[in-house]
Amino acid sequence: MHRKDAENQQSVVPIHREEILKLWYSIDQPKEQIAAFVAWLINSDFFKAPCSTEFHLCRPGGLAEHSLNVYRLLKEKVDRYYLGCTSENPVTASNIIVLGLGHDLCKVHFYVPGYRNVKNDVTGQWERKSVFKVEDQFPMGHGEKSVSILQDYFQLSEIEKLAIRWHMGPWTGGVVEDYATREAYRAGIKRHPLVTLLSTADIEASQILEAD
């Protein structure tokens, strides 16, 4: 269970590390900048962090696993069905890697192990359980925070920025409540199919592939 896993976050084996790093090393960016980014990624908690506090992949290593799942789903949409691929809107292997593996970098240094009291349904007694809680070290939002982190190392394309910024789709904070944000989101999804493709890959991963 993820509550027990929270206590063992520091000892988790990053099983997806080699595959993810190999993909990052292959992107169309200067080698020096890739090396600097990879060094940051390795020294962060990316490979040990959960992907959520209580929903999908809320266990150590969940963030890396989710990122790889989204990358694979997005790649399949583009490679198998040519979604989003036109002469006017080309999609590169580098685009897919940056979007799939980079969309949730906002969750790096975001979760920490903690505790909360939970009532035992059988005994009726309150028990102290290990959980993950949010302790955001860089409170800049969600998609926009991922864009900011990536831009510390790479020159992103306009489409990469837009797709990552809006990867939460209509669930992006402010889309429902704020007119300006809603109109920006609507304009973003019209700019390139990758904006929608990344969002749906994220939903398919979290709600179907990673569902308990």
Residuewise pLDDT in 10s, the chain (212 residues): 344 444 444 455 578 999 999 999 999 999 999 999 999 999 999 999 999 998 889 999 999 999 999 999 999 999 998 898 888 778 999 999 999 999 999 999 999 998 888 888 888 889 888 889 999 999 999 999 999 999 999 999 999 999 999 999 888 877 777 888 899 999 999 999 999 999 999 999 999 999 87
pTM: 0.89
Cα(26)–Cα(28) distance, integer angstroms = 7
In angstroms, the Cα distances linking 205 to 11, 16, 86 are 25, 16, 25
Helix (H, G, I), strand (E, B) or coil at 137: coil
Tell me, what DSSP letter sits at residue 8?
Answer: G
With H, G, I as helix, E, B as strand and everything else as coil, classify residue 159: helix
**What is the H or E stretch that residue 126 is in?**
strand 126-134
